[in-house]
Structure 1
Amino acid sequence: MIAGIRIAIVLTVIVLVTLVLLPVQLTSNRFNWKLSWYLPRWWHRVAVRLLGVRVVIHGKLDTHRPLMIAANHSSWKDIVVLSSVADVVFIAKSEVKNWPVFGWLAKWQRTVFIERERRRQTGEQVSEVAKRLADGEIVVLFAEGTTSDGNRLLDFKSSLFGAAANALEASPTGAVSIQPVAIAYTHANGVPLGRFGRPLAAWPGDTELTPHLMGVLKEGAFDVQVCFGEPVTYDESSNRKRVTRDVEAQVRSMLQAQLYGGGKPLD
């Protein structure tokens, strides 16, 4: 009963906040106002509080531009979490456009959708990412290319870093900064999530969205550690595969430290 009331209140407030901010965001998108860069962070800050997701930040967001964030990916909550701490846009697979609720939110946040099966369109979309980077936007790349179960890091795909190479020509410094970021869900209701508990926070691709979302809302509180690593400079002399491995190694190290080294919940 209490859980049902809480879920109803959370969903009602999220809908009301969305109805207030959405017209402003759509207008900003249409006229290319920079307000469209910043407004999503306000919405996501409300969302993380209502969802009971408590964010602990380690390190700092790089101040250099152009900047690409390369992060691990285990849940739709990763998008809400990262958007609550920085003004970012995302790269996502084209299927996300058709997802209920999350597809609409992604389009409103000006996500760049990549159709990997169509090589010609993929090139155009990578160019769009490069343009966003060169314009000063922070672009988030989930470099595994899919979601994990929250217990491990999948291999990063070097092909997804092509946008960084494409942005070099438009970069005022002739380089792009790539910052590794690890997102680790460590506690639920103050209790450490072990190997068997982490899939509760994660959203593997074969899990139905609605039951998973209801489970998250019923759980009430998750602690997530967001770790910013040392930025890696990508310039004309860089080897894309080597940069990918360097970034992946940092994310793996930070993720393992939080999952198996005892990430601390908030007081």
Structure 2
Amino acid sequence: MIGTIRTILGLLGIVAITLWVIVVQTFAMKTGLIDEHRWPRWWHTNMLRMLGIRVHPHGEMARERPLLIAANHISWTDIMALGSLGHVTFIAKSDMARWPLIGFLCGLQRTIFVERDRRRKSGDQASEVGQRLAGNAAVVLFAEGTTSDGNFLSPFKSTLFAAADIALAAGKVEKMYIQPVAIAYTRLHGLPMGRRHRMVASWIGDADLVPHIFRLLREGAMDVHVSFGAPVEYTPGSNRKQAARHAQEEVRAMMIERLRLS
């Protein structure tokens, strides 16, 4: 009964804040009369409240720009956790652009869509990310290329790290920064989740989104830790594969630490 009530109230809250942000953000993007960067962050913060997810930041998002944030990926709620902590641009799979409502909401935050399964387009996709970086943006790259169950870290894919080289080649900046960020879901109703219960937070592969939303609404009271590593300077002489390996090692270390302390 309590779970049902929580779900209904959460859904009503999600609908209300989403409708509000659609109206305000659309107005902001079309007119430029109000700051379009404010409302996505507001939406992420309030969505987390409706879902009952508490975010615990460790460190802070680097202030240097351009910035490529290299993070692990567990669930769609990772986007909200990071989006609530600063103004960022996300990279998402191209098929999300066609999802009802979700694709529209992604557009309101100027998400970069890529086709990760088509290698021949990887250069064009890295170019788009690179151009956005050259404009002094902070871009989030979920470097594993897919989601995991939150208990382990998959190898980081270096392909989109090429965006850093393209941003530098554009000639608008002489250097940029790559910041490793670890996301770890640790507690459910105040109790350590453990390997099995961490599956409540994870959204893996082609799992349906709507049932997962309902499950999170029904459960509520979940803790996620976002750990920010030290940003690493990336210059024309840097190697993207080495940068990807370094980011992977840093994220793994921070993730293990948070899971151990939970």
Between 1:174-183 and 1:119-128, the stretch displaced more is 119-128
What is the CA deviation profile of residues 177-201 of structure 1, one whole-angstrom value per residue up to 9, with x for unaligned ones? 0100000000000010111111111
Q: How far apart in 2 are the matches of 1:255 and 1:33?
A: 41
Q: How many residues align?
A: 262
Identity of matched residues, %? 50
Written as runs of structure 1 = structure 2, the 5 A alignment for 1:19-34 is: 19-30=19-30
What does 1:120-139 align with in structure 2 at a 5 Å threshold? Answer: 121-139=121-139
TM-score by length of 1: 0.91
SS at match of 1:223: strand
- State the match for 1:91 in structure 2: 91
Q: Which residue of structure 2 lines up, in the alignment, with residue 234 of structure 1?
A: 234
1:47-58 superposed matches below 5 A = 47-58=47-58
Indicate yes or no: 2:175 matched with 1:142.
no
Deviation at 1:124, TM superposition (A): 3.5
TM-score normalised by structure 2 residue count:
0.93
Structure 2, unaligned stretches of length 5 or more?
none
What secondary structure does 1:168 align onto?
A: helix
CA contact (8 A) 2:126 2:161 kept: no
SS of 2:84's equivalent in the other structure is helix
2-structure distance, mates of 1:119, 1:34: 39
Q: Which residue of 1 aligns with 2:63?
A: 63
Checking the alignment, whether the CA contact within 8 Å between 1:66 and 1:171 is kept in structure 2 is no
* Deviant stretches of 4+, over 4 Å: 31-34, 117-122, 170-173
CA RMSD of aligned residues (A): 1.9
Give the AA of the match of 1:108: L
The match for 1:161 is: 161
Which residue matches 2:190?
A: 190
Q: CA deviation at 1:120?
A: 6.4
Q: Provide the rounded CA distance (Å) in 2 between the counterparts of 1:125 and 1:242.
A: 20
Q: Deviations over 1:7-48 (max 9, x none)?
A: 111111221122222122123334567822232001111111
Change (3 A) 1:262 1:158: same
Unaligned runs of 5+ in 1: none
How far has the Cα of 1:174 moved from its partner? 0.9
Change (3 A) 1:21 1:208: closer
